[in-house]
Amino acid sequence: MTNKEAFRREYLRELLTPLGIKLTEQQLQQFALYQEELLSWNEKINLTALTEDKDILIKHFYDSVLGLKVGKWTGQERVLDLGTGAGFPGVPLQIVSPSLSVVLVDSLQKRVKFLQHLLSVLALDGTEAIHGRAEELGREPKLRDKFDIVVSRAVARLAVLTEYCLPFVKPGGVFLAYKGLDGQKECVEADSAIKKLGGKLLKVETFSLPEEMGTRTIISIKKLKPTPAAYPRRPGIPGKNPL
């Protein structure tokens, strides 16, 4: 093991311990492989603007698993990560909590190709990556109303994102939106959309990232009843005309 690899492992271990997350050697190895594959593929396709070790470890890995600190997880949930990009937050959640069943969704085929390769390398059998748009996938019977938890990080404004995500959540389940400092403001803007789509705002929690690397706000929205059949609307409409 090189000095760089040893640093990455020990630093990540130190980062996650205060969250009550103690990584096994296998999990540390999976995160190490994840970082290697991310940086390697990033030279061919645009996956991340972050290439420094601490940036990846804090702003991608640590940030992703903060969702586990929101609400009560049993570790057995079926999770969908919408607009996952290079696998955030879904893949770190799966590594830390292996009993989850995770579906990663992205609208770009080349990113899905990376994810499928990554899942094979990391041997994450409980995870799959699929290509498609939320407006279309959200109407598929095998995905609609099927997930205990839906997560999404930095994809769209909350009013738009709620229309993308809530159709996938089963009644009684929760949508966790990873947002920045303006999360509270977005909640006000999205109030009508949340109610119209069958949801209810539960809480807004804010976390400070280590090394003064910013703030993460995670918004919890509970799905009280099935989303009306009219939603999500056709591709492109939610973004152009938010509810």
Query: Could you tell me the residue ranges of all domains in the chain?
Result: 3-240
In tens, the pLDDT along 98-144 reads: 999 999 999 999 999 999 999 999 999 889 999 999 999 999 999 99
The answer to whether 207 touches 215, Cβ cutoff 8 Å, is yes
CA distances from 49 to 55, 100, 235 (A): 10, 28, 27
Residue 168: the pLDDT is: 98
Domain covering 3-240 assigned CATH 3.65.10.10 in the classification: no
Q: Which residues lie below 8 Å from residue 58, measured CB to CB, with a gap of 6+?
A: 15, 209, 210, 211, 213
- Tell me the torsion sign for CA atoms 136, 142, 148, 152: negative
The answer to whether 207 touches 178, Cβ cutoff 8 Å, is no
Q: How far apart are CA 65 and CA 120, in angstroms?
A: 21
In tens, the pLDDT along 72-104 reads: 899 999 999 999 999 999 999 999 999 999 999
How many CB atoms within 10 Å of residue 173? 22
Q: How far apart are CA 168 and CA 5, in angstroms?
A: 38
